[in-house]
Structure 1
């Protein structure tokens, strides 16, 4: 089993492997170029996203400064908008549906360090996928933790920390994020 397969399957792997270090450097290079490319040069920005992501739909727009860990585990649907300072740590699959909105400083994190201190010091980590359904809106400063699924049409209020799955058609807020209202 190669490193990418281990990551995608939630197996423990070493974050310091040369292949992964190289992958992170490549992603930094692409996102640096993306963040420097002007909005007027949509074609260049789209080409960089095509190089970075596993797949993306039509009308993807991401404000700078955008960061990813690898990019190759990110799948974005049509009409995706991410406001300033979005971070996606995609050690496992990140699937973002159609018509999704990210407020400023949204963070989507698939990776987690192991709890054993000696293994953690060696760089052992694991990752769990994140899925964000169609027509979801994540408010400013939302954090989405590893293994979370957010159902379609839901709204996550600003500053929320999403630690567990959120069903479709709800408004959820808080730390930890909890459903407060059905839509």
Structure 2
């Protein structure tokens, strides 16, 4: 029976690869998606409630984090996302921890094309609206990612990046260094 359920689930995905390996994993994934749907709503549920829902899915979230509406934190491996204290994610931010091409492309590109890597957003970072963060990226402490950027490489601390793909626009000098 389990094989039939898993085959049915895979069939529903078309050319995408089913990540769950068991029926239990399938149900966990389903309920995680329900929680995410609730968290990503643009209804005024509040940033704290969005954080609570994402934590239930496995996202590691620090204190005083703002999550705007419409954010999508990886639907398959939310447990690989770490968001430290005092971070702000405006609306429409998409964080991916995996990339899994179709079966024909995996045959062409090889199994290394299936990427699963953590994303880490360090303390004090600000991610502006409609940003995409790709697998394996670390956003440095007190950095800013400009609106509409696609981040595919690590962002150093105290740096402003922007563009598609994101490039360094400016470095930030901490106030404490300016006062010396």
Asked if TM exceeds 0.5, the reply is yes
State the structure with bigger RCO (CA 8 A, min sep 6), 1 or 2.
1
2:171 maps to 1:182: yes
- The count of aligned residue pairs is 146
Q: Which has the higher strand share?
A: 1
Q: Distance in 2 between matches of 1:174 and 1:93?
A: 25
Unmatched 5+ stretches in structure 2: 1-16, 173-180
What is aligned with 1:24? Answer: 29
Offset at residue 140 of structure 1 (A): 0.5
Q: Mark the structure with the bigger radius of gyration.
A: 2
Structure 1 moving runs of 4+ over 6 Å: none
- Measured on the aligned residues, the alpha-carbon RMSD in Å equals 3.0
1:20-77 deviation digits (Å, cap 9, x = unpaired): 322221113334555599748x7xx48953xx526xxxxxxxxxxxxxxxx22x1001
1:16–1:119 Cα change, 3 Å: farther
Unmatched 5+ stretches in structure 1: 1-12, 55-70
Q: Distance in 2 between matches of 1:152 and 1:172?
A: 13
TM-score of the pair, normalised by structure 1 = 0.68
Q: Which has the higher helix share?
A: 2
Q: Distance in 2 between matches of 1:16 and 1:141?
A: 28
Asked if the contact 1:128–1:146 (Cα under 8 Å) also holds between the matched residues in 2, the reply is: yes
